[in-house]
Chain A
Amino acid sequence: MAEAVFHAPKRKRRVYESYESPLPIPLGQDPGPQKEFRVFRAEMIDNHVLVRSPADMEQLYGKGYFGKGTLSRSRPSFSVSDPKLAAEWKDVKTNMPIIPSEKYQHRLSWAADLLRRQGQDENTVCRVLEEYTRPLEHLGGESSAEGRPQAGLMAETGGLLGIDGASGTMKETGKPGLGSGPGPLAAASFGECTGEDPAPASRVSSCVLDALSPQCGLLPLDSSLHAREREPGPEFVLVEEGASGGSEREDTQAVEEVKSIKLVQRKRLICRRNPYRIFEYLQLSLEEAFFLVYALGCLSVYYEKEPLTIVKLWQAFTAIQPTFRTTYGAYHYFRSKGWVPKTGLKYGTDLLLYRKGPPFYHASYSVIVELVDERFTGPLRRPFTWKSLATLSRVSGNVSKELMLCYLIKPSTMTDEDMKSPECLRRIKVQEVILSRWVSSRERSDQDEL
């Protein structure tokens, strides 16, 4: 056989997640109620495609491993919460992030900086922040029995967060067999903790909200979007503080309970508004975004609130990245074979091909993509010398990947005009070539290689 042998992909030794679905679209064969075909939303910001809604992010990354978190290596996993503290306080069933007070102070100072940059004088800054970050606790002095109705009341007012979290947690703790800790107690204490959240929130003057919301996260966003789509998490945080003075000593018994169980001396969680929120988004590569739009039809890319059509996107992406057509052709080809291509930047190539997804298998192939014409020549994106090829082959070999050259062959009849629409992909042929090193002395004993 002159053809290269297919080597089974290598499974990762430890897999920490379960496989959901190959693609972020509902499949008819899936058991369970028919899910609705959902069109995700992404935005073009500064030549990048960003997905902001946490639900969309989770779907797109979890099903098909599209994109990467802007603050993470791959899966968007940034959380405000301090993992160590969260582990320490895990008995407090909350989905609000827990942060140490130093971190909270950092955020305060960032927020203050921001307000100052906006031209507020020092007094206003102090006042606004003080108002905004007041511990949301003075209502908590009431008994837990009152806390809950209040929460319910707030839920009716709607739109305000924290309620969902609270009730969700209630439900969770109510479940039998969940956690060995003092479930009801924790729930009660939590109810106190969160019950008061909405109240100050509603009290916060709108000017403060206006002042603070633009700086939520890294990008200018309209606050309404956040109010609608964001999880309650970043709005309120639980700050771990040393119990100061005796004012909080008469806290409810429940909190005391928790504390004693946790053996955290004189430490308590105080719920405050987060003055400076950091959001993580899912950034899609242009190829990924276009694939979701063109192949699956499950993504709308908006540019300044206007959704873009497929042809428009094709042209825009080509303008942003001149070799987009070439790389997209290869991306589409490998996706349509059920593999998961990710960027091969770290190995000096264009794409890495994973089976199933990066969490499950090591990438099997490291791919270089070239577009050639009917005569199999053309201006190459990356002209090779034997030296550079040898280098690349060595690097790929050392990370147990095979080096693949992927040539897209366009027919001679294809004009530039044809190339202006993604429909031209139908006429492109793909040639895959595996480059491997042959060791003359080793092959003598190792004959099954060829």
Chain B
Amino acid sequence: MVPPSGQCRAAHGEGGGDPSLEEVLLDWGGASAPAWAGQRLPPSKPGFGTPGMGPKGGPGRSSEPLGTAVVYKARIRSRYRGTSVKAGARTRENQEGGKPVEESRRHLPALGPLGVPVGGAHEEGAGADCGQMEPEPEPAAVEVPPGRVLSAPELFAARSRSQKLPQRSHGPKDFLPDGSEAQALRLRQCREELWQLLAEERVERLGSLVAAEWRPEEDFVELKSPAGKFWQTMGFSEQGHQRLHPEEALYLLECGSIQLFHQDLPLSIQEAYQLLLTGDTVTFLQYQVFSHLKRLGYVVRRFQPSSVLSPYERQLNLDGYAQHLEDGTGKRKRSASSQSVNKKAKALEDSLLPISLAASSPPASVQNSQCSMEKAQESKPMKGPGVPFQLLGSLEPCPGLAREGQGCGEESGKAENGVKGARKPRWNFEQISFPNMASDSPRILLPAPAPELLPANVAGRETDAESWCQKLNQRKEKLSQREREQQAVAQQFREDVNADPEVQRCSGWREYKELLQRRHLQKSQSCPSHLWGQPVTPLLSPGQADSPATVLQHISVLQTTHLADGGARLLEKPGGLDISFDVYQADAVATFRKNSPGKPYARMCISGFDEPVPDLCSLKRLTFQSGDVPLIFALVDHGDISFYSFRDFTLPKDLEH
């Protein structure tokens, strides 16, 4: 069974997440309940239990003893044009005093003339026949107050009524009002079904309901009787009490797992929506995402900034320790302390930052040393286990080795003075003599190394390397047939450097290098001067193109960064989106422990579909905050939720052609 979704839209009021349903829009032929309305009902239907959801099992419904069931009423017609209807809360409000009470009697008659509100901003048909809406027939048991104990016949009736959701479709979808009688009829039909569905009583066994009290001043719900199975994944303990966050309480209320009281009076679902989702705890959007994910079986917990390990902590394997810390702070979470916890976490991260810089952990190290970043870049893709880096096979298995001699010096020169790209060889090879260790050299006496090349505490001395040479494998390389053929082919075209008479005339490396220089000059003279004779020359000179790898190395001038880089700086800036929930996979429910939840599967940011897309700045801030857990943006569009993730990426270098 699938909850009807999407096709009907419920536009809720603007007033700070007021959950009351002020406007109901129906698309033609759609489901007969708005998405969120569907969300409320299905959990009470059998077969809807998803792992982790079920505080209440499916079986045993009909075998419940008479007289112990209570009725929960989903009230929808709370406020139309300011007429507030709170049937169930009537008495309470009387006690409170001050709030309008007399409307509660009025709500049904008032609906007729007012009809479905003409939502100015809304398109699609709703306005079509607003005016001619007839007063709706009053569903039978609207006036039953929540928490009432049913009589035997009522219970029997409740148990034996149809469990089927009404038909979803009333023909093809209409997009424009055509003023026809048939359309109006269909619209009315849809609407009636919606009301009916929303008004359905939820009958639960009193014994299986956990009593809980809403404490508005502290923004949590305190359990009055021992918690049910849901306690494994929901709620928190504080000061020896079991408590629920408002979104959890509301969800459990909708599931029929708790009975919620406020000032000793039971709350209807509608009232709970109104009371629990107002204020600055959880917005309606957040609750929609929360309940959506919960119904799919995910474990959803509030995001606690303090639970995120800093890169440095992660590097040091501080998981366990941080977990321990979190247990301490996490317990007295909620309420006013949340802000301070947040600050504390920031302070912790900030204090750790200098250290993590020194440790050159990838995210933080960038600003300072480009060189180390380059390394990190190269090695980073390799690290990811199980990542199919096919292309990377040829990606310079060892960066140090791939660059030889001059190339190396050049590289470092580039990194050091970034912009200018000056080439400063690190070693002066004219002064460093390399011994000939080849087999053709009869006597190998290695002179003492120049002291300036050695660290202060190391003494160099002369050696005879002959004994070493004997140990070296100096046999000729054995080649396969194919390799030999390849070599032969290459040999056809390649000239032995030593065969060159000019080279032969050189008496030393210096002369040979000069020769090369001369030749290079000659060659580059053929290079057009409008390219090479200018302040800005091409990145690649004709002689430098040995292999695709070296070419790419020469022309790689733009640097890569990562989303988490420099995120700490951005954390100080307030505002914008925030991470709301940690989400754990549904199949982890069995082993899930609130005390040590482990790494979340993802973290959720919740935003309206009309709100702006986060810019790079917010992306970086949130990604940094999220640490190594993927960040997902949940977008709520009138009850429809879609999820998008922005993830850091570095395109691998492709050399294997």
Contacts and interface: CB of A to CB of B under 8 A. Distances in A.
| A in complex with B | yes
Nearest to A424: B419
Given A29-B547, A428-B558, A444 B534 contact: no
B3 to A, nearest CB: 11
B509 interface: no
Contact of B561 (A26, A425, A430): A430
Interface stretch (B182-190, B202-210, B292-300, B423-431): B292-300
A404 B630 CA distance: 16
B628 A450 contact: no
Contacts of A293: 531, 538
A434 B647 contact: yes
B586 A444 contact: yes
Given A311-B535, A386-B613, A407-B616, A450 B601 contact: yes
Interface stretch (A162-170, A181-189, A329-337): A329-337
A297 B527 contact: yes
A300 B540 CA distance: 14
B641 to A, nearest CB: 7
Interface centre among A295, A311, A337, by most chain B C-beta atoms within 10 angstroms, is A337
B530 A308 contact: yes
Interface string A281-320: 0000000000001111100100000011111000000000
Interface string A4-27: 111110000000000101110111
Contacts of A308: 530
Given A8-B390, A431-B563, A34 B493 contact: yes
Q: Name the interface size band of chain A.
A: 35 or more
Q: Name the interface size band of chain B.
A: 35 or more
A238 interface: no
A376 B651 contact: no
Nearest to A27: B545
A2 B629 contact: yes
Contact of A432 (B531, B612, B649): B649
Interface stretch (B109-117, B238-246, B248-256, B549-557): B549-557
Nearest to A435: B646
A390 interface: yes
B613 A339 contact: no
Contact of B626 (A2, A37, A438): A2
Contact of A297 (B381, B538, B627): B538
A107 B557 CA distance: 50
B635 A386 contact: yes
Contacts of B631: 2
Given A2-B626, A377-B617, A431 B561 contact: yes
B368 interface: no
B657 interface: yes
A123 B371 CA distance: 77
B101 interface: no
Interface of B: 292-293, 296-298, 381, 384, 387-391, 418-419, 421, 486, 489-490, 493, 523, 526-528, 530-532, 534-542, 545-548, 551-552, 555-564, 570, 585-587, 601-602, 607, 609-613, 615-617, 619-620, 623, 626-632, 635, 641-655, 657
Those 6 A-B pairs whose CB atoms lie nearest each other, nearest first: A297-B538, A338-B654, A37-B542, A28-B546, A4-B647, A376-B617
23 contacts: A19-B657, A23-B545, A27-B551, A28-B545, A37-B545, A293-B531, A296-B538, A310-B538, A335-B555, A336-B555, A337-B653, A338-B653, A338-B654, A386-B607, A409-B561, A425-B557, A431-B616, A433-B649, A434-B647, A438-B632, A438-B643, A440-B641, A444-B587
